[in-house]
Structure 1
Amino acid sequence: MPALAPELVLCAVDEPMANAWLAVAAGRTGVRVHRGSVLDIRAQAVVSPANSQGWMRGGIDAVYAQAFPMVENNVRSAVLALHGGELPVGDAQIVATGETEPAWLISAPTMRMPGELLPGDTVHPYLAARAVLRLWLEGRLEDGTPVRDAVHTIAMPGLGTGVGGVAPTTCARQVAAAWDEAFNPLRV
């Protein structure tokens, strides 16, 4: 049986982010836009644009922590055990949500400290998106299963666009660059 093609669902609860995401999806096979919550999507994994310590107390992370009661503990435990207490911006970690769907949460920090306001010229959304895509393509789950075999659809909110204050167009442009680098290196 052939493997399912990967699908990235870019989610937006507001028009500026939705419009910025539409530019990313245009002409990119495997990318689509959903106007609504990340939690509305049938996906195996959701992206948490977290902070490096793994605290999930604000923005979309607080929504995830409420929807998946064990996920903050899972993220914090992985950050402590596997990354010495700090998952750097540019890295990503996949942990179980404790639910059937989505079964996984990919923590990809866009900021070092919780609540950090990012500068307008930040590259953090690109670094976070690149980390998510690399993990998806090359990473392994705790049991050794390739992430790409367990996760066919990832739902991604704006990266750094809430608490971090990154403009939707900046985020979208950087996510597009990360997608092109991962899936169409001739395009970059």
Structure 2
Amino acid sequence: MTAKHAPKPLRVVLTDLNAEVVAAWRTAFAGTPGVEIRTGSILDVDADAWVSPTNSRGRMDGGLDAVVRRHLGAGIQLRVQRAIRDGHGGELEVGSAVCVPSGAAVPRFLISTPTMRASAQDVSQTLNVALACAAAFQAVHRQNAATPGSIASVALVGLGAQTGQVPAQVCANLMWTGHSLFQDHEFTDDDELRRTVTDQLTDLLAAPADRPVRLAVPARTGRTARR
């Protein structure tokens, strides 16, 4: 009998052209294993999947979405919108994400996760970044459950830090929270994920800038420690 090998840990690349976002990541993710932090364009990152912050209809007409669409071709928007139509009734809530084949060698998948409902919206006073980041990582879980090992690396930018006007340190802290949920729990559905984040709204809002919050996952699943 051949012994089973545990899957490799996910390689996470955080990359952005905004030096403030990069510096904030270095504070929030200090000591977090498996996370690489770079200054630069996501287009230059060799990863199995890229994460693009989108709007609820999957219209790739602004921000990074537009850059990715130009890079991968117009067909990527059609695939994203088809996935939203088929799996989410045509509108993707914040706290959900779709993962579609990119049609390219790099990345092989694009994960679209809304940080806002419309194409340009101030989300600086919301938890949308934590919800979007957590949803993107859950999409990795689901893709790997369907095809084991298909996503071993994923690249993300500062979600909501450009069009969404989220301050750099707030963006970094909320993304750390989303990443920690990926480490702690695989959610069975998006509603459970949204409840886990929104039920602990006070903890997130009260967190000091230098101490991002690790949310407590449902008791039946394990860890509740906070950093």
Structure 2 CA distance for aligned equivalents of residues 110 and 67 of structure 1: 21
How many residues end up aligned between the 2 structures?
183
Query: Residue 52 of structure 2 is aligned with which of 38, 48, 53?
Result: 48
Q: Paired residue for 2:10? A: 6
* Higher relative contact order (Cα pairs below 8 Å, separated by 6+ residues): 1
- Tell me the CA shift for residue 2 of structure 1: 5.0
Q: Paired residue for 2:23? A: 19
Does residue 90 of structure 2 align to residue 90 of structure 1?
no
Structure 2 CA distance for aligned equivalents of residues 17 and 153 of structure 1: 21
Taking structure 2 as the reference length, the TM-score comes to 0.76
Runs of 4 or more, structure 1, over 2 Å off, are 1-4, 184-188
Query: Residue 119 of structure 2 is aligned with which of 114, 119, 143?
Result: 114
- Tell me the CA shift for residue 74 of structure 1: 0.8
Taking structure 1 as the reference length, the TM-score comes to 0.91
Structure 2 CA distance for aligned equivalents of residues 47 and 183 of structure 1: 17
Q: Paired residue for 1:165? A: 165
Q: Paired residue for 1:34? A: 38
The superposition leaves residues 16-48 of structure 1 with CA deviations (integer Å, 9 ceiling, x where unpaired) of 111011123311101110110011111000001
Counterpart amino acid of residue 106 in structure 2: E
Q: Paired residue for 1:140? A: 143
Does the residue aligned with 1:108 lie in a helix, a strand or coil? Answer: strand
Counterpart amino acid of residue 145 in structure 1: T
Does residue 72 of structure 2 align to residue 68 of structure 1?
yes
Q: Paired residue for 1:105? A: 110
Structure 2 CA distance for aligned equivalents of residues 20 and 95 of structure 1: 30
- Tell me the CA shift for residue 121 of structure 1: 2.2
Counterpart amino acid of residue 160 in structure 1: G
CA contact (8 A) 1:96 1:103 kept: yes
Structure 2 CA distance for aligned equivalents of residues 7 and 115 of structure 1: 30
CA contact (8 A) 1:180 1:187 kept: no
- Gap runs ≥5 in structure 1: none
Structure 1 CA distance for aligned equivalents of residues 157 and 72 of structure 2: 17
The superposition leaves residues 58-88 of structure 1 with CA deviations (integer Å, 9 ceiling, x where unpaired) of 1110110000112111111111121111010
Considering only CA atoms, is the larger Rg found in Structure 1 or Structure 2?
2
Structure 1 CA distance for aligned equivalents of residues 6 and 93 of structure 2: 35
Does the residue aligned with 1:113 lie in a helix, a strand or coil? Answer: coil
Q: Percent identity?
A: 33
